[in-house]
Amino acid sequence: MIQSFYRTTTHSWRSQVWALRIMRLWLGATWIYAGWDKATDPGFLTPGASSFIGTHLSGYSTQSPIALALNKMIEHSVAVGVFVMISEFTIGLATLLWVAPTTAAFGGFSMSVGLWLASSFHANPYFLASNSVYAILWLSYLLMIRNKRKGFTMSFERRGVLRIGIIAALSAIFTGAGKFFSLALIQESAQASAKTKIVKLASLKVGATKKFAVANGAPAILFRTKTGVFAYLAICTHQGCTVNYSATSKTLKCPCHGAEFNPYASGKVITGPATNPLGKVKVAIEGAWVILV
């Protein structure tokens, strides 16, 4: 079995022209790296973390042409995150090892189109949207291997189920290993990057709030208490409506279906239908300013 797997993989590499090998290597390795990047991110599946998949979906939903679909996904963020991560590993491994290669290429193409519509549809100029470039690359690769595969399709398909099983097992191992490494990276990932001034500390009284926007334009809300400052994405984790602060109830309320969040307890849900806490936004006091970190 292993020998047959090895033979199929090596034959596939040997029988391809260099242009195809380069595309295949780049696409396969990039997809594995994308999965690994998510698997080793301690916040990717952690509701409330700034790198949480739900926080990304919330941000994307403010300006994407598929906002409706993204809003539906927000309340299932963890499942969506796991699906994306496993899919990336599976597509990358299947591409490099030549397991169901056309299906893998179609998966890579579909994922790139989805990411382009979700996150970089409005990139200007358009060629800065790497997802659209990857969509074209996957499509070209798919068309090329479809023509090339006519010769040895039958012998390849016979043990297809077992090979796909191996790919699934490898994807699960990669995901597990990534999560293991992520524990060691928690401190590192907490490092701040670019800092943007939000408001002068003196103009934000204790007990006051301020609306602002994070880098991708998503609405956020800043709080100042006796102990410091903190902020949340003002995007409901149910289906993406904008939440507002109610000074009467001291909660963040969603006007769409009535969810309420407690800003003084890590943004946790007080009243459903939302189930996940609001996404946190990292802010800090630096000199006379409150900054986005």
Asked if 292 is part of the footprint of ligand FES (rule: CB under 6 A), the reply reads no
Which residue number, 254 or 281, has a Cβ lying nearer to ligand FES? 254
Number of chain positions touching ligand FES (CB under 6 A): 12
Which residue number, 89 or 245, has a Cβ lying nearer to ligand FES? 245
Select from 274, 278, 290, 292 the one that contacts ligand FES (CB under 6 A). 274
Asked if 254 is part of the footprint of ligand FES (rule: CB under 6 A), the reply reads yes
Nearest approach in angstroms of CB 237 to ligand FES is 8
Which residue number, 72 or 148, has a Cβ lying nearer to ligand FES? 72
Gap between the Cα atoms of 70 and 240, Å rounded: 8
Asked if 129 is part of the footprint of ligand FES (rule: CB under 6 A), the reply reads no
Asked if 257 is part of the footprint of ligand FES (rule: CB under 6 A), the reply reads yes
Tokens of residue 71, six digits:
């809003």
Select from 236, 252, 291, 292 the one that contacts ligand FES (CB under 6 A). 236
Select from 16, 195, 270, 273 the one that contacts ligand FES (CB under 6 A). 273
Which residue number, 91 or 259, has a Cβ lying nearer to ligand FES? 259
Applying CB under 6 A, the span of 77-85, 106-114, 115-123, 236-244 interacting with ligand FES comes to: 236-244
Applying CB under 6 A, the span of 6-14, 161-169, 183-191, 254-262 interacting with ligand FES comes to: 254-262
Applying CB under 6 A, the span of 22-30, 98-106, 134-142, 255-263 interacting with ligand FES comes to: 255-263
Nearest approach in angstroms of CB 277 to ligand FES is 13
Gap between the Cα atoms of 128 and 139, Å rounded: 18
Residue 145: phi and psi, rounded to 5, are -75, -25
- Total count of residues recorded for the chain: 293
Asked if 233 is part of the footprint of ligand FES (rule: CB under 6 A), the reply reads no
DSSP string, the chain: -HHHHHHHHHHHHHTS-HHHHHHHHHHHHHHHHHHHHHHT-TTTTSTTSTT-HHHHHHHHTTT-TTHHHHHHHHTTHHHHHHHHHHHHHHHHHHHHHTSSHHHHHHHHHHHHHHHIIIIITT-SSGGG-HHHHHHHHHHHHHHHHHHHGGGTHHHHHTTHHHHHHHHHHHHHHHHHHHHHHHHHHHHHHT-----EEEEEGGGS-TT-EEEEE-TTS-EEEEEEETTEEEEEE-B-TTT-PBPEEETTTTEEE-TTT--EEETTTTTEEEESS--SPPPEE-EEEETTEEEE-
Select from 78, 166, 241, 293 the one that contacts ligand FES (CB under 6 A). 241
Which residue number, 228 or 258, has a Cβ lying nearer to ligand FES? 258
Q: Interface with ligand FES by CB under 6 A: which residues?
A: 236, 238-241, 254, 256-259, 273-274
